[in-house]
Chain A
Amino acid sequence: MISKVRPHPTQNESLLFETSSPGKAGYQLPKLDVPPVDARDALGAQNVRQEIPDFPEVSEVDVIRHFTRLSTWNYAIDLGLYPLGSCTMKYNPRVNEAVARTEGLMWIHPYQPDALSQGAFAILAELERALAEITGMDAVTLQPAAGAHGELTGILLVRAALEAQGNARKKVIVPDSAHGTNPASVRMAGYEVVNVASNDRGMLDVEALVRTVDEDIAAIMITNPNTLGVFEEHIAEVARILHSKGALVYMDGANMNALAGISRPGDYGVDLMHLNLHKTFSTPHGGGGPGSGPVAVKKPLEPFLPLPRLQHAPSGWSWNYDRPQSIGRVRAFYGNFGVLVRALAYIMAHGGDGLNRATLDALLNANYLRKLLESHYEIAYHAPSMHECVFRHASNGAIAKRLIDYGFHPYTVSFPLIVHGAMMIEPTETESKQELDLFADALVSIAQEVKENPELVSTAPHSTRTTKVDEVAAARKPILKWTR
């Protein structure tokens, strides 16, 4: 039974272009108190348009209502559980926003002189220190603008470090339970991808790994916990195997929400990793971004980090560009500063104990859902779950759509690829027991519907503004341009 939501009417919405009526304006100019000038005389006739095509002419209230109504069609973390596995859709605490809107931070400009930016430098340095502490690494760059950008930066660091030893090598190992962006980052950095399969426990097959690692391997790119939500128990052994052949261990830290405050990758052999501040550290996500993907490294990789680096002298903070081994700049300025401020606010509001507690709650929530759902859905792998759990069901796509009728955002569908019919669920620490119970009830109820009324599920959603869309036609014959 659908208990969380009920339909409520929303207005049919035209595009602003369609709402436009000639001559309508949302402003009133004061009376002209200077002599009028003909724009064609002042600018040259060839520089002045005769007409402006299709600019919507609407009033202020038209615009406000239009966008406010559109905003009510959205689903958001501020409305309820958002269980997209692997995405860590946690609540963005409002204190982050309050801090980021501090006047001095909000109006700061990247070209402001260093002497007037000392506070910003200190914030960046403090965040680097905190992330190094949380990951057990020695140095951090905050430049990369998102997770995959961090991955690419990381693999370029691997290449630079190995080149400095005389041989960049040819290949990077990517387990089949890794994030989908990993192989792409490897290719972009000029390496070949070597796939290694998982074993029946959903962990990297160590024997297969041993057979794969040779002097051509530059690194392994391992996601831990992996995309099955399973902790790679043999991670220290994996690191030993790679290091014995002179290769490096890159960890995709997208799932750091399972580890922060509890386990430090730097303590079990990881040489470098990225973090997703928009996941683990609660900064806005997706369309609400921008993202941020800092890279943390061990000491030997520090000389290769992107330009510039923060440096401190008795006279204060400044940028250091004198780093001959650096891979160079990977982004303008120094990352998405406003996002970095929010992440530091989150870390400082929590402290070490708070991060530890948040992580334990994230694990508890995922395992609570697993227990509630295990007798209704088949769990993909029986190894213990960390911050997310993966079930399988032949109707995983339809069930996800039906969840929308129940008032929830769907889980991640058909990923990881190694699970047929994957349903990947990550509740995060944000959710209360009440919300988790409602979600589990919804999925249990849908499991029943699949048996008793499969048509109801396969044609869902029914209560949304737009019912089931034709994804195939949209992909094969996309309409990418608006025409009147």
Chain B
Amino acid sequence: MDPENLRYTKEHEWVRVEGDVGIIGITSHAQSELGDIVYVDLPKPGTVIQQGKTIGSVESVKAVSDIYTPVSGEVVEVNGLLTESPETLNKDPYGTGWLVKIKLSDPGEPAKLLTAAEYQAFVGTETS
């Protein structure tokens, strides 16, 4: 199940807000569609990014997929664990498989994204 306390995008990313920082990852649905993930390409800390823009990519045996940031701001930390163990993304997409932490430049953005229920409804229409 997609956690209730996160916000989601139609591009299958999630964001969890902790203070003025947004933690970003890809959804369980996304990792399952991609299959075994073998490589993750992430931005450098300090990069300033804008909502909806590409910040990196996730590569599986099947395909390479862009990651679009759900929020704007400055990258303050990237998940180094994924370099060594990209499979973490498959195992724990909402926990240790997070991608980047972004210092939010517009704290109002997350609330405008999809709720867990809205995201599930969207996934339902997309896969039917």
Q: Which of A236-244, A384-392, A453-461, A471-479 contacts B (4 or more CB under 8 A)?
A: A471-479
B49 to chain A, nearest CB (A): 15
- Determine if B63 and A417 form an interchain contact, defined as CB atoms under 8 angstroms apart: yes
Which residue in chain A gives the minimum CB-CB distance to B38? Answer: A475
Interface flag for B1 (CB, 8 Å): no
Q: In the bound complex, what is the Cα–Cα distance between A420 and B35 (angstroms)?
A: 13
B7 to chain A, nearest CB (A): 23
- Determine if A472 and B63 form an interchain contact, defined as CB atoms under 8 angstroms apart: no
Known contacts A476-B86, A476-B87; decide if A414 and B63 are in contact (CB<8 Å).
yes
- Determine if A472 and B38 form an interchain contact, defined as CB atoms under 8 angstroms apart: yes
B46 to chain A, nearest CB (A): 22
Chain A residues whose C-beta falls within 8 Å of the C-beta of B39 in the assembled complex: 475-476
A457 to chain B, nearest CB (A): 17
What total of A-B pairs shows CB separation below 8 Å?
A: 19
Q: In the bound complex, what is the Cα–Cα distance between A397 and B86 (angstroms)?
A: 22
Q: Mark B13-49, 1 if CB is under 8 A from A, else 0.
A: 0000000000000000000000010110000000000
Q: Which of B35-75 contact A (CB under 8 A)?
A: 36, 38-39, 59, 61-63
Q: Which of B38, B59, B86 has the most CB of A within 10 A?
A: B38
- Determine if B38 and A476 form an interchain contact, defined as CB atoms under 8 angstroms apart: yes
Q: In the bound complex, what is the Cα–Cα distance between A476 and B62 (angstroms)?
A: 13
Q: In the bound complex, what is the Cα–Cα distance between A279 and B81 (angstroms)?
A: 42
Q: Which of A397, A417, A471, A472 has the most CB of B within 10 A?
A: A472
Q: In the bound complex, what is the Cα–Cα distance between A420 and B29 (angstroms)?
A: 14
Chain A residues whose C-beta falls within 8 Å of the C-beta of B127 in the assembled complex: 420
Known contacts A476-B86, A476-B87; decide if A414 and B62 are in contact (CB<8 Å).
yes
B84 to chain A, nearest CB (A): 10
Chain A residues whose C-beta falls within 8 Å of the C-beta of B63 in the assembled complex: 414, 417
Which residue in chain B gives the minimum CB-CB distance to A396? Answer: B62
B114 to chain A, nearest CB (A): 19
Q: In the bound complex, what is the Cα–Cα distance between A356 and B36 (angstroms)?
A: 44
A39 to chain B, nearest CB (A): 47
Which residue in chain A gives the minimum CB-CB distance to B62? Answer: A414
Q: In the bound complex, what is the Cα–Cα distance between A309 and B48 (angstroms)?
A: 44
B124 to chain A, nearest CB (A): 15
B54 to chain A, nearest CB (A): 9
Chain B residues whose C-beta falls within 8 Å of the C-beta of A472 in the assembled complex: 36, 38, 61
Chain B residues whose C-beta falls within 8 Å of the C-beta of A417 in the assembled complex: 63
Q: Which of A80-112 contact B (CB under 8 A)?
A: none
Report 19 cross-chain contacts, Cβ distance below 8 Å, ordered by A residue: A397-B62, A414-B62, A414-B63, A417-B63, A420-B127, A471-B36, A471-B61, A472-B36, A472-B38, A472-B61, A475-B36, A475-B38, A475-B39, A475-B59, A475-B61, A476-B38, A476-B39, A476-B86, A476-B87
Seed contacts A414-B63, A471-B36; 4 additional CB < 8 Å A-B pairs: A397-B62, A475-B38, A475-B39, A476-B38
7 nearest A-B residue pairs (beta carbon):
A475-B38, A472-B36, A471-B61, A476-B38, A414-B62, A472-B61, A475-B61
